[in-house]
Amino acid sequence: MATHGNRRATIFARVASGTATLEPDPAREQGWTVCVDGVPQSYVDLGDPTFLAFGYVRRVATVLRLGAPAAVPLTVLHLGGGGLTLPRWISTTRPGSVQTVVEHDPLLLAVVARTLPLPEAVRVEVGDARAFVDAAAAGSYDAIVTDVFQGAAMPASVAGVGFAAAAARLLRPGGVLAMNLTDLPPLSYSRIQAATLRAAFGDVALIAPPGLVRGRKAGNVVLAAGVVSGDLPVSRLAAAVARDPEPARVWHGADLTEFLGGAKARLDGYA
């Protein structure tokens, strides 16, 4: 029997954050784009979970890939679910990984799970990202992926130094955090977020397409952070993202300090 993922009609559903659509990709037999209010959130290929259509997702995947030897199972916390693109990728590339996804929109989770069956090894919880992080045990995870939005913005609860410190507490030695955010040139918001992570992590890198810095359109920036200075394999990271079909640049160390231009960490806005 064919899975729901083989149906080729666009699926519409009301979710807590607006109207979700799951749109079939005519170029890939089992490819789907998950949108909320017309904005693409995720791309999932049920036939090939290693296919990552969005540049920022590939950058997050690169951070995770370089954070541990190939094929070694990881314990990963995903804050924000969407179509669960990265959990599917990790389940395929690192069998045996233990993954938890925290998503605040139960209706979005339901339509995704109904149409795009979830990997069996992925545990999904409906809840608030910050509340989950505050309650979790220290040293529980090898990696944390933060992809939390309210509309087009990151909520204050996961944008301040309090969240950064709480997330750092959850990581094991050698663990990494990868944070996706959206910004406009000249990346003032990203500079503040990088400074915020620096207040809690020993090693921080900012990854963005060079054109985003000097252009006029919004785009995605990925921040990578390690608990101990030297956790991030920066030279390999820079080489990998530069070879991507959508090349990006890595700012790190003194280069990042100069790029931040005196930006200050954001005080915790969570109450």
> Would 243 be classed as within a structural domain?
yes
R_g over Cα of the chain: 18
> What's residue 1's pLDDT?
36
Q: Domain containing 208: what range?
A: 49-260
> Would 4 be classed as within a structural domain?
no
> What's residue 217's pLDDT?
86
Task: Let me know how long the chain is.
Answer: 271
The DSSP letter of residue 80 is: -
* Residue 73 CB contacts under 8 Å (≥ 6 apart), including other chains: 94, 95, 96, 97, 98
CA–CA separation, 108 and 102 (whole Å): 12
pTM for this model (two decimals): 0.94
> What's residue 59's pLDDT?
98
> Would 31 be classed as within a structural domain?
no
> What's residue 269's pLDDT?
62
CA–CA separation, 225 and 162 (whole Å): 15
> Would 33 be classed as within a structural domain?
no
> What's residue 179's pLDDT?
98
CA–CA separation, 94 and 74 (whole Å): 7
Q: Could you tell me the CATH number of the domain that includes residue 124?
A: 3.40.50.150
Identify any residues that bridge with 101 across adjacent strands, giving them in sequence order.
78, 124
* 187: alpha, beta or left? (left if phi > 0; alpha if psi -120 to 50): left
> Would 41 be classed as within a structural domain?
no
Q: Domains in the chain: how many in total?
A: 1
Pairing mode of beta strands 39-45, 31-36: antiparallel
> Would 23 be classed as within a structural domain?
no
* Residue 107 CB contacts under 8 Å (≥ 6 apart), including other chains: 13, 14, 15, 16, 20
**Paired tokens of 248:** 């990006």
Tens-digit pLDDT string for the chain (271 aa): 344 544 579 999 999 989 999 999 999 999 999 999 999 999 999 999 999 999 999 999 999 999 999 999 999 999 999 999 999 999 999 999 999 999 999 999 999 999 999 988 899 999 999 999 999 999 999 999 999 988 678 999 999 999 999 999 999 999 999 999 999 999 999 999 999 999 999 999 999 998 998 888 899 999 999 988 788 899 999 999 999 999 999 999 999 999 999 999 999 865 4
- Is residue 90 a contact partner of residue 99, using CB atoms and an 8 Å limit? yes
Residue ranges with strand state E in 104-230: 122-126, 141-146, 171-183, 203-208, 219-226
> What's residue 270's pLDDT?
53
